[in-house]
Amino acid sequence: MATESDGEEEGKLIGGNQHLVVEDDLREMAKKAAWSVSSCKSGNGVQFLRDDNLETYWQSDGAQPHLVNIQFQKKVKLQLVVLYVDFKLDESYTPSKISIRAGDGFHNLKEIKTTELLKPIGWVYISLSGTDPRETFINTFMLQIAVLSNHLNGRDTHVRQIKVYGPRQNPIPLQPFQFNSRELITYSLVR
């Protein structure tokens, strides 16, 4: 499992990782989701959160909290949220406090995690698992990432990339063994 950051102090994430590293048993889930944001500056919209380019960014435009909404067509299991933020480039636009919320839709979102970031540069990993070690994921239709405050009391925010990961499902649930490599999984089902 990727570490949450270079260091951690009482729920505060410090630093960030320059390279995105995620275990093979996780897969990126947000490709099939509908993305929306609470506001954006012209030319810095929601599409820049998913373009795999660290030079572009989503910039909010309006009052806090700034929201990123990720809605799925069916209930999905989610385990990890990874954001790319850069305090060195964005300064007061860099998020300092983030809330992650989940639910069936806008009407029943519940906060599942609050994280404070201390001058992060790079990929920041936020685990969605609960306090119970048996809860390694959440089951939800919607995920909302709320930027509650920015560094240096900034008003608008910059987020360069967001990735959402869930557990990789075994394609043959009735088999008494698990296929671990991608090559074996590819040829594990005969039609």
Report whether 133 contacts 147 (CB < 8 A): no
- Mean pLDDT check: name the lowest of 19-33, 86-100, 145-159, 165-179: 165-179
Most distant CA pair in the chain: distance in Å?
58
Beta bridge partners of 162: 83
Report whether 99 contacts 146 (CB < 8 A): yes
- Read off the pTM: 0.80
Domain segments of the chain as ranges = 7-168
Q: What token pair was written down for 95?
A: 């998020």
pLDDT of 135 reads 72
Beta bridge partners of 114: 99
Report whether 25 contacts 167 (CB < 8 A): yes
Give the H or E element holding residue 182. helix 182-186
Question: pLDDT (tens digit, 9 = 90+) per residue, 137-156?
Answer: 899 999 999 999 999 999 99
Q: Are strands 110-118 and 66-78 parallel, antiparallel or unpaired?
A: unpaired
Residue 181 pLDDT > 80: no
Coil, helix or strand at residue 141: strand
Question: pLDDT (tens digit, 9 = 90+) per residue, 96-114?
Answer: 999 999 999 999 999 999 9
CATH number at 7-168: 2.60.120.260
- Output 132 or 10, whichever has higher pLDDT: 132
Report whether 67 contacts 38 (CB < 8 A): yes
Those residues with Cβ within 8 angstroms of residue 55's Cβ, 6 or more apart along the chain or in another chain: 160
